[in-house]
Structure 1
C-alpha cells in the first residue's frame, strides 16, 4: 500500500500542477482571477488531505450502489476500482480511474486520479476533484463543484457554484455562479448569476442562458451562438497584437541610461582607487592574453553555477555554496566598474587613470542600460572580471612554482655574498688573518 500511495502522490502532484499551470498561462496573458486561484487551492488542499488519510480508511464494499451501470458505455479507462473510503460523511477516493454511478453521497465527494466520472449521483455537499479527465453528468449537487483537470466537462448537473481550472472546460448544467479559467471555455447551460471567465477562447452555445454579466478576459472575441442569451458582456480582449509598451520608450530609456552611466562610473572610480594594481594587471592581460582571458571567463561563467548546485547537495558543503553564491553576486555588482577601469587604460591612454576610468565607466554603463544590447554587454563584463580572476590566480601559482630556489650545497649565504672571491687550492675561500 505504501508504494501505491507514493506513486499516486506523484501522479497527483503532476495533475494538480497541470491545472495550476493552465491557470498561470492564462492569467499571465489576461490578468489574475481570484476564483480561479481559489479553485486550484481548494483542490490542492482537499487532495493533499486525501493522500494523508486514505491508507488508514476502510474500503467500500463492492456493491451496486457505487458501481451500477447507468446505460453509458464506459471505456476501459473508466472502469471503477475500490481504493476509496469514508471520512466522516465524505466519500474520499484516489487511484487511476473511477466511476461514481447512481451514488448517494451524504456530504462531499473528494477524488483525485487519472480519470474520474460522476454519473447520476446525488451529493448533499460538494464535489472536489483533480484528474487528467473529469466528466460530471446528471449529478445533483447541493453546494459547489470545484475541478482541476486537463479536460473537464459538467453537463446536466445542478449546483450552487461551479469553479473549473482546466485546459478545455465545458459547462452545460445549471448553477448560480460559474467561474472558469481555461485555454478553451464552452458555456452552454444556465447560470442564474454572473459568469467570470479567463480563457484564450470563449464560446457561448445556443442553449446558454446567463442571467447576469459575463466578466473576465479572453484572447479573442467570444463566439456567441444565435440562440445564446446573456447579460452585460464585460470581457477585455487581449490579442497577440496587443503590446503594453514599445520596447524602446524614450523617457524611460534616457533615465535608465543616465542612471546606468552614473552607477558604472562611480563603481569604476572605486575600483581604480581600491584595486589599482588589479585594474592595471587586467588591462595588461586583456592586451597580451586576450584569448585566455575570454576563454576563462566563458568557461567560468558556465561552471560556477554548476559548482554551486553540486555544493548544495551535501550538508557539509552548504557553507561553501553560500559563500560562493555571495561571491558571484558581489562580482556581478562590481564587474561593470572593474571592466570599465581596466579597459579605460587601453582606450584612453592619454588620460590619467581616474579620468580614463570615469569616461569608460560612463560609456559602458550607458550601453548596458540600452535595450537589446544591455544584457549581453553586462554578461560580457561579468565574464571579463571572472576571467581575470581565474587567469590572475593561475599565473600567480605558475610564477610561484617557477621562482622557487633550487637546492644548493655548502653555505648559500656566504656564496651569495662573495660570488667572485678568490679560492685556494682546496676550493675554499681564504680565511681572514687572525691577529
Structure 2
C-alpha cells in the first residue's frame, strides 16, 4: 500500500488553508482562532472573523506567522485536516500552566492534577471520535516558543502517535487489561507536563539553554528530576515516568544517567516506558524545529535529521514509524512551490516516501481569491513525476532538504519480529 488517503469533504466549508498573514486577502474568514504570538494565551481573533486589510496589516505587525482560513476552492483535501483540535489542546495547556505559575509562590497551595487528567481524557475522546485529527499540522509559529506552546505541541503529537500505536501499547503494557493499556489520557497529561521542571530552574540556566540549545548542560538536565519531584504521587505513575525519562534514548544514551538511585537505573530500548519513548520523539521534533531562540528550522529538514543516521538510533523504530504516519514533512493545507515554479497544496501524505506527497496545484499566493476558486490543474502524485520536487515551503528554500524513502519501516519490521 502507498499510504495515501485522499478523501473528499462532504462540505466545502470544511476545507482550510494555512497562510502567512501577508498572503491572506480581505474577505477571507478564519478557520481557527489567532493567538497572540507573545505566548500569553490571549486570543486576538476568533473563528469566523472576516479579515480586512487593516486586520491583516496588524497581524503582520504583531509578528503572527501563520493563520488558517476557510478556502472552499480546495475541494480535495485530506480528511485528516482539523486544526481546531490543536487550538483546544493549546487552550488546555494555558489553563494548566497558568495554574502552575499561580501556585509557585504559595507553598500551601496545590495543583488539581486530577482535574487536568479528566480534561485530557475528554480531549482524547474528541480526537478518537474525530478521524480528521490524525495529522499533526501545527508546530509553533513563534520564533521563541513559550513553555505552553512547546507542551501543547508535544502533547498533541504524542497523542496522535498513541492513537496509531494501540496494539503496540497493549503489547508493551501487557500486565494491564487491553482497555486500560491503550488509554491515552495519562500519555497526554505526562506529555503536557514533560518539561514542568523547567519552572524550577534558575532563569539564567533557562536563558543559556534557549541561546545554545545544548542538551548536555548538566544544570539544564536537572529539570527532569525536578519535574518528577513536582508530580510524583500526584499524577498516575505512567504520566510521572514521562516527566523523568522523556530524554532517555532507545540506544541507551540520553539522561538522567544512573547515580545510585533506582529510578535512574540504566534505561535503554524497551526498558524505557513506552509512553516516555513516544514523548521522546515528539519532544525531539519540536526542539529541533526551534533549536535556539529566534531560530526556526523547516519541518522537512528536522524530519530528515530524525530519520538520518545521526539520530535514528535514538528512537523506538515502531514509534518513529507512527511519527512518520502523522507528521508529514509537508503538512496538508500548507502551500508549497514546485521545481516547475507552480504553487500547490499537499493533500495526501505517503509515509513510505514522505517528501513526495500528492499535491493540488493552486494559484500563486498573491493571486489567491478571498472566496476560493476551483483549482485549474489536476492532482499531482509527485511519486509519479520524478521531474518535480518541492523547493519552497514554510517561507524558506527547501530544494536541498528532500530525502528519499527512509528505512524506518524496515527497522520497524525487524523490531516486530524480534
Sort the TM-score into its range (normalised by shorter chain): under 0.3
Q: TM-score w.r.t. structure 2 length? A: 0.24
TM-score for both structures, normalised by structure 1: 0.23
State the structure with more CA Rg: 1
Normalized per residue, which structure has more strand?
1
Q: Which has the higher contact order (CA 8 A, sep 6+)?
A: 2
